[in-house]
Chains A and B, each alone.
Chain A
Amino acid sequence: MTLPEDCPHILIIEDEKPIGRFLTTALQAEHLRVFTAETGRQGLIEASTRQPDLLIIDLGLPDCEGIDVIREIRAWSNIPILVLSARTQEQEKVQALNAGADDYLTKPFGVAELLARIRAHLRRQQAAVTLTEPEIHFGEIKVDLALRSVTRHGQVVHLTPIEYRLLLVLIRYAGKVLTHRQLLTAVWGPNYSDRSHYLRIYMGHLRQKLEQNPAQPCHLLTETGVGYRLILE
């Protein structure tokens, strides 16, 4: 199968052959160019030579910690990094996200979900280059960054300064999973990084003000035990 030259390049660092194979097949079918590496070291070499547009990495690698690989790559690149992890490893997920990963998928996962995430991150990556839009839309909400106003169905929604700051951080990294610590540091400052209930209270307020059914949110999503994510579409 021949691929167009400008198609996105994906690097997969995964030591389990069956998983690597199914990822490769599924991505190639979506017209993506796939490179694979089975160890962390090989993955770093591939990452620097192939210049991928997105990286998929398994946290449990045979030769080194996945987190170290993420840190090393983050030192010189800001390509989207998608982490694959097992269900019970919440702490590792948080560490990987704090180290600079953008998103995670819990094994086992379906191809549809994987592709949706990959597309979202590739799009965000492109959009980030041109993030000068004065207006952001999601659901019934319109955020005017220039006027600093939020409207819902055209009605002005009153947000406190902290609520607005929180919303701005979420918008800036829309689609990306933000850990509690990242959000607390960005909104309240580094001294508040252990008061995650502050964050929960303000997320609750934002949902009450912006979501149709706060108990079943569509945009301000909770990643239990990890953090939050804003979905724009």
Chain B
Amino acid sequence: MTPKRPDPDELLNKIQQEEAKQQRGCLKIFFGSCAGVGKTFAMLLAANAQRSQGIEVVVGVVETHGRSETAQLLAALEVLPPKLMNYRGKQLPEFDLDGALARKPSLILIDELAHSNVTGSRHLKRWQDVEELLTAGIHVYTTVNVQHLESLNDIVGQITGVRVWETLPDHVFEKADEVTLVDITPDELLQRLKEGKVYLPQQAQQAIQNFFRKGNLIALRELALRRTADRVDAQMRDYRADQAIQPIWQAKERLMVCLGPGAEGEQLVRSAARLAAGLRADWLVVYVETPALQRLPTQQRDQILTTLKLAQELGAETVSLSGTELADTLLSYARSRNVTKWVVGKSRRSWFAKLLRPSLMDELANRSQDIDVYIVIHTQTPATLSPPVQPRSFEFAENSAPPLQGYILAIVAGIGITFIAASLNRFLDAINVIMLYLLVVVGVTVQFGRSAGILASILSVILFDFFFVPPQLSLTIADTQYLFTFAVMLAVSLIISHLTASLRYQARVASYRERRTSALYALSKELSSALTVVQIIEISCEHLQGVFQAQIALLLPDSHEKVRQPLTDPPTQSLDSWVDIGIAQWVYDNQQPAGLGTHTLPANPGLYLPLRAPMRTRGVLAMVPTNLHQVFQPEQQRLLDTFAAQIALALERVHYVDIAQDVLVSMEAERLRNSVLAAISHDLRTPLTAIVGLSSTLNSHPELPIATRQELTETLYEEALRINSLVINLLDMARLQSGGLKLNLQWQFFEEVVGSTLRSSARLLAKHEIVTQLPSDLPLLLFDAILIERVLGNLLENAAKYTPPGSRITLAAQVKDTEFQCSVSDNGPGFPLGMEEKVFDKFTRGEKQPSQAGVGLGLAICRAIIEAHGGKITAKNNQPAGAKLTFTLPLRESPPLPAMESSDDSS
């Protein structure tokens, strides 16, 4: 056999893991069989050794339990002050995670990794705190007792009779960089206990009698040693895989656990976890929701959810399927996932029940040819702290009892059909009467469900006996043959009612499923047509609100990676007060869900999910459910995840559409820039050519008559001014477009600006008649005087440029409604048809005559300035002739005016 090369993907994966590891802090676990073996002591010793090597060590949490040796070791180290948490009016000290992250030592000591945090802390469990510390690159030393390991929890419970609440998921233990076993013999431990080195003498005596029995200690020690040995073995195998020492690359095992209702599920999951760990296999936990199981009481269904969650924590992939036949569904799913081993619980049904119908165990064993079946025996675990599961309710119980009217109508229908049958008695045989009753049973079951159907079945038999079986009007029967008839009739009607109810139930399940699918379909359809982020938010909120009966908010990151709630239209929807930005930011940064029903801040009423898209996280979905079941059912959870993924994808799509659009815009801008350059170079070159020509003529022909020289210099001057006005326009446009324009808004008199404009444009307007129509009571206006002067100057010069000399230019202003209007009109030729709006575009000119100076920037500048002021500018042709340009400025409340002064003579 040739040695097989390691799978390149797997190697790459490994390298990536190593890289990630280098940035992460290292986790070292001091592992012991039970309290008192000296874990904390060993940890402190190691920490002191590190400190003496110059490594910065800080104690996060260490419990000395009053042990003096431990306290001595602790004295030499810096201790992080605990955070006081308010819990039911009491101040409880708790590890200060944020303080530790801010302090950022290179090594931190955290005792008791399995500890559960005080309610209100960020994480439920201390190991999650440690996870965050490791991610921040801080090394962590910690301690764990074997009984706290999740997968061993029940075994330890069986051995010692004490079940602990605080457990540590096995994956945390598996992923630890180092595990040091702190071990002493049971005798030594008992000796220490007697000497009072573990507990105070009184407690010690109690402890020896209960937990610290020698048998227990031996068993615990064995478990701890074994667990450590397993780890060493796994390391060995990893090492071999790394070095490709031995080509053991067998096909990966895959376990599948079939979960049923009931408390034994937890035990089943734990056994499977141990088995999977031993086999180093992937494992799935599958729950099949059959119609029968859907009728279970809520509490029992919750139990299943809890078990699924436990499985997830232990590292399983959890799946919930739905189907009518348990075995069929399981088999087809197992085939699709290449499962190699089943794990099922041993059936507790009686031999009689098994006779009627083979157990799941047998059925799977019979029908799965190539899959091994492991059967896990249920044992009654002592002192189990989980809430007792209610005895299984009556087989036919509905989720909700049918309304009373169902029963009443069942009776009414029974009696009604009796009357009909009685009136038709002459034409009907007894057998046909039975048929009529069966019809009633079917009808009642379809309408009102199983219980009403059963009532109708029994009632039918009684009524049939009473009214139609001789002797009539009595329950006694003459012919014993009828006993058989009754039995069959009852059986048939019960079976019919059962089948009908099942069908009805499946139809309901199907319709739920259908509703979910169509909700998803509707969402994806609408999302696929959304073009903007705002649309996506609106669509998502609308759909999610409907499906999950919850308040929904989407939070998106801004350019600084800080999530915030974007403003939507209408703005009333924005900034919901229940949204906790802090949690949302954590979710966005860590890409982990948080809030209600998660491990992080579970006390918060809201659930926060990261919106993960293929490239990156695009935002956070926040929801406050009004009905918890609507959100935490497995199907709904899957639906929610799918929704979140869809929304994230849509956000990502819009993001890339934006980028594509930007590219398009910049291409457009490039094209425009080229045409601008062409236009500018033409308009600059013309007057420059004139200037160069004129000045060189003057230079080389001193003999020219004085009148000619005068004329030439005059032209020279004009051309220079033309270049000046072009340069001014270009600079203004550049300034307006660069976005660097800051309006210097001041309260101004419009009349004043008109005056200064007319004065500065006097030369260009000299050949025209200027009329101003300004009412004397114009209010103060808030604008940038220099820019508005520019607008007026451009409008007036434009009017002068496009009208023959001697034309009249009228500048009029008025207040109309809530705005100020100013118009510049002339009696010249007006705009060419259809050009009214285009005149405001850059590089557009009314007439295609290059002889008219200016690249057509003037009106574009006017528009930019007016729009920056919140006004509008429009152009139209005047009646009867000429052009009219009108701009508006918003009116605002006037500023405080100077106190009134008597206008008396000043003398």
Residues of A within 8 A of B (CB): 87-88, 90, 108, 110, 147-149, 156, 158-164, 195-198, 200-204, 207-208, 213-217, 221-225
Pairs A–B under 8 Å by Cβ, sample size 22: A87-B728, A88-B731, A108-B721, A110-B717, A149-B905, A149-B907, A158-B904, A158-B905, A159-B906, A162-B898, A163-B906, A202-B898, A203-B749, A204-B751, A207-B755, A208-B776, A214-B751, A215-B751, A215-B758, A222-B756, A223-B756, A224-B753
The 5 closest A-B CB pairs, nearest first, are: A197-B747, A164-B906, A222-B756, A225-B786, A215-B772
Chain A neighbourhood of B476, CB < 8 A: none
Chain B neighbourhood of A160, CB < 8 A: 901-904, 906
In the complex, whether B69 has a CB less than 8 A from a CB of chain A is: no
- Against A, the Cβ 8 Å flags (1 = close, 0 = not) of B889-907 are 0000001011001111111
A162 and B786 contacting across the interface, CB-CB below 8 Å: no
A147 to B735 alpha-carbon distance, docked (Å): 52
Interface size on B, residues (CB 8 A): 37
* Given A158-B905, A197-B780, A221-B759, residue A90 in contact with residue B751 (CB < 8 A): no
Chain B neighbourhood of A110, CB < 8 A: 717
Beta-carbon contacts under 8 Å, B775-799 to A: 776, 780, 785-786, 789
Chain A neighbourhood of B759, CB < 8 A: 216, 221
Closest to B788 in A: A224
Chain B neighbourhood of A200, CB < 8 A: 747-749, 752, 780
A60 to chain B, nearest CB (A): 16
* Given A198-B898, A216-B772, residue A108 in contact with residue B751 (CB < 8 A): no
A224 and B789 contacting across the interface, CB-CB below 8 Å: yes
* A222 contact from B746, B752, B776, B898, Cβ within 8 A: B752
In the complex, whether B473 has a CB less than 8 A from a CB of chain A is: no
* Given A88-B731, A200-B752, residue A224 in contact with residue B786 (CB < 8 A): yes
In the complex, whether B744 has a CB less than 8 A from a CB of chain A is: yes
- Against A, the Cβ 8 Å flags (1 = close, 0 = not) of B765-776 are 000000010101
A215 and B774 contacting across the interface, CB-CB below 8 Å: yes
* A204 contact from B749, B758, B904, B906, Cβ within 8 A: B749
A203 and B786 contacting across the interface, CB-CB below 8 Å: no
A201 and B735 contacting across the interface, CB-CB below 8 Å: no
B749 and A201 contacting across the interface, CB-CB below 8 Å: yes
B752 and A147 contacting across the interface, CB-CB below 8 Å: no
Chain B neighbourhood of A198, CB < 8 A: 898
A148 to B907 alpha-carbon distance, docked (Å): 6
Q: Is the interface of A mostly helix, strand, loop or mixed?
A: mixed
Chain A neighbourhood of B903, CB < 8 A: 158-160
B128 to chain A, nearest CB (A): 57
Chain B neighbourhood of A161, CB < 8 A: 901, 906
A223 to B895 alpha-carbon distance, docked (Å): 22
A74 to B763 alpha-carbon distance, docked (Å): 35
In the complex, whether B724 has a CB less than 8 A from a CB of chain A is: yes
Closest to B748 in A: A200
A222 to B731 alpha-carbon distance, docked (Å): 24
- Against A, the Cβ 8 Å flags (1 = close, 0 = not) of B730-767 are 01000100000000101111011111101100000000
B603 to chain A, nearest CB (A): 53
A203 to B898 alpha-carbon distance, docked (Å): 13
Q: Contacts A158-B904, A164-B906, A215-B755 given; 8 further ones with Cβ under 8 A? A: A88-B735, A108-B721, A160-B901, A161-B906, A200-B752, A204-B752, A214-B751, A222-B752
A70 to B516 alpha-carbon distance, docked (Å): 80
* A197 contact from B735, B895, B904, Cβ within 8 A: B895
A147 to B786 alpha-carbon distance, docked (Å): 39
Chain B neighbourhood of A214, CB < 8 A: 751, 755, 776
B892 to chain A, nearest CB (A): 12
In the complex, whether B720 has a CB less than 8 A from a CB of chain A is: yes
* Given A148-B906, A149-B907, A159-B906, residue A201 in contact with residue B720 (CB < 8 A): no
A215 and B749 contacting across the interface, CB-CB below 8 Å: no
A159 to B735 alpha-carbon distance, docked (Å): 43
* A221 contact from B731, B756, B780, Cβ within 8 A: B756
A90 to B746 alpha-carbon distance, docked (Å): 14
A201 and B746 contacting across the interface, CB-CB below 8 Å: no
Closest to A87 in B: B728
Chain A neighbourhood of B749, CB < 8 A: 200-201, 203-204
A154 to chain B, nearest CB (A): 16
Closest to A214 in B: B751
* B755 contact from A108, A147, A201, A217, Cβ within 8 A: A217
B784 to chain A, nearest CB (A): 8
* A216 contact from B755, B776, B897, Cβ within 8 A: B755
A187 to chain B, nearest CB (A): 11
A88 to B736 alpha-carbon distance, docked (Å): 12
Chain A neighbourhood of B728, CB < 8 A: 87
Closest to B785 in A: A224
A147 to B774 alpha-carbon distance, docked (Å): 35
A221 to B906 alpha-carbon distance, docked (Å): 23
Tell which of B752, B759, B774, B897 has the most Cβ of chain A within 10 Å.
B752
A215 to B792 alpha-carbon distance, docked (Å): 13
A23 to B678 alpha-carbon distance, docked (Å): 35
Closest to B728 in A: A87
Chain A neighbourhood of B721, CB < 8 A: 108
A122 to chain B, nearest CB (A): 23
- Against A, the Cβ 8 Å flags (1 = close, 0 = not) of B576-610 are 00000000000000000000000000000000000
* Given A90-B786, A197-B780, residue A203 in contact with residue B752 (CB < 8 A): yes
A214 to B758 alpha-carbon distance, docked (Å): 12
- Against A, the Cβ 8 Å flags (1 = close, 0 = not) of B200-211 are 000000000000
Chain A neighbourhood of B895, CB < 8 A: 197
A97 to B729 alpha-carbon distance, docked (Å): 27
Chain A neighbourhood of B744, CB < 8 A: 225
Chain B neighbourhood of A221, CB < 8 A: 755-756, 759
A168 to B376 alpha-carbon distance, docked (Å): 109
Chain B neighbourhood of A201, CB < 8 A: 749, 780, 897-898
Chain B neighbourhood of A208, CB < 8 A: 776
A149 to B744 alpha-carbon distance, docked (Å): 38
A100 to chain B, nearest CB (A): 23
* B754 contact from A90, A164, A215, A223, Cβ within 8 A: A215
A162 and B751 contacting across the interface, CB-CB below 8 Å: no
A107 to B540 alpha-carbon distance, docked (Å): 59
